[in-house]
Amino acid sequence: MVAVLYGYSFFQRVVPSVLVEDLTSSFDVGLAAVGGLGGIFFLSMALAQLPIGTLLDRAGPRRIATAAALASVLGAVAFASAPGIVLAGAGRLLLGLAASVGFLGCLVVATRVLPPSRFGLASGLAASVGMAGALLGQAPLRAAADAIGWRTSLLLSALLPLVLIVGCLLLLPRGGAPRTAAGAAPGAPDHRRREVFRRWPVWACGIVSATLVLPVNVYAGLWAVPFLQDVRGFRPTIAALAASSMLVGFAVGSPALGWLAARTGRPRPILAGAFVTVLGVMVLIVYGPGLPGWLVGFASFVAGVASGGMVLGFGLATTGIADHRRGLAFGMVNTVVLGTTGLAQQVVGAVLETTQTVWATTPTMAYRLGFGLLVAAVFTGLLLLRAMPDPGGGSRDERRHG
């Protein structure tokens, strides 16, 4: 149930990328405002991660996921029926808050019902369900919007979280995680929580995961379709399919790389290869010569597979963390992932609009400047790999001060 809720949140994440022209026309706004709708979603998710992680530790998945499903219904209806950009933003805000439960809930349930050796595969499969939702928000949503209108399409989508309310109540485990011997004593929970907050390797995992998945969330999730149409001359359907290829790759790569990391016990070399692959593909697509649609789709798929390695950061972040604080650690990582995505969507949107309207540059130059920020961020994540925890001996920072 939580995985399906996560899939719905991914569907809502990518809605603005396919409906850029519809939203600018319906609300009479520019590209920066559409980027803001995507940014509001991610930033609200990011702000909710830490309290949601703590609530999942304390109250358990059943209550929190049920409330999230209800909020998803209300947010979807508000956004689809909004007469202007303000109410649309409010709907996106509510959808983002509801979506904050999805992936964290999957991880918390996995830690409670599965052995540690299965966590990488389970987290990867959860990410795959999320990507399935994102795929529905690409070409299928575009086709539905063309047939019955974008507002009707999104209103009908609200039926899924409505059903999930019942499913969460009936199927999810109740209650919080039991305290372990390594955890805090009942009289000092705040002290232990502060200790988790002060762990730099946990934050490093968030930065690494965020930068590795940034092309999926920002390029494929919002700007790939208009880029491929305006710069590469692709038809809307072909552009949506090419963008979806990266999402398909992520859905394949997340469980595959999670399984491979668990099998080999060497997640950091896998992450290094993933970063190099993503860098190469982004440079090829953005700065390379004109490529046919099938080749762009294939390259995007390969980059998506590599980006699936971002789930490894969540597993590494809980190295040395007590069971009843793992939801908090997951929340810390996802705060960085989502906050970075929300900020990047707004910054890239502002660069695209400013360079074309103020500086009067060509669309090609505007997108190269905007996507250059993504390339720089991915390279930064590659440099931070050594700060991540090592399952065999902690991070370099922990060994120095431990």
Q: What is the pLDDT of residue 361?
A: 79
- Residue 185 pLDDT exceeds 60: no
Tell me the per-residue pLDDT of 267-276, one tens digit each, with 9 for 90 and over: 899 999 999 9
Residue 187: exposure state from Cβ atoms within 10 A (0-12, 13-18, ≥19): exposed
What is the mean predicted confidence (pLDDT) over 173-178? 59
Note whether 134 and 13 are within 8 A (CB): yes
Q: 184 falls in which pLDDT band (50, 70, 90)?
A: very low
Residue with tokens 């099998």: 263
Statement: the pTM of the whole predicted model exceeds 0.85: no
Q: Secondary structure of 274-322 in the HEC alphabet?
A: HHHHHHHHHHHHHHCCCCCHHHHHHHHHHHHHHHHHHHHHHHHHCCCCC
The tokens describing 224, both together, are 């790939």
pLDDT number for residue 391: 66
Q: Is residue 255 over pLDDT 50?
A: yes
The conformation of residue 361, written as its DSSP 8-state character, comes to -
Provide the token pair at 176.
């919080």
Given this model, what pLDDT does residue 269 score?
Answer: 92
Section 14-22 average pLDDT:
84
Tokens read off for 7: 């899939």
Average pLDDT (351-372) is: 84
C-alpha atoms less than 13 angstroms from C-alpha of 222 in its C-beta half-sphere:
32
Give the integer Cα–Cα distance in Å for 129 and 138: 15
Give the DSSP H or E segment for 231: none
Phi, psi of 183, rounded to the nearest 5 degrees: -85, -175
- The full 3-state SS of 121-187, as one line of letters, equals HHHHHHHHHHHHHHHHCCHHHHHHHHHHCHHHHHHHHCHHHHHHHHHHHHHCCCCCCCCCCCCCCCC
Mean of the pLDDT values across residues 219-241?
A: 86
Length of the chain, in residues: 402
Closest CA to 391 of 308, 270, 278: 270
Residues 38-83 have pLDDT tens digits of 778 877 887 888 898 888 888 888 888 899 999 999 999 999 999 9
Half-sphere exposure of 155 (CA within 13 A, CB side): 8
What confidence score (pLDDT) does residue 360 get?
Answer: 66
235 residue type, one letter:
R
> What band does 179 get if pLDDT is binned at 50, 70 and 90?
low
Radius of gyration of the chain (CA): 20
Reading the block at residue 337, the tokens are 């992932």
Domains of the chain: 2-177+186-401 (1.20.1250.20)
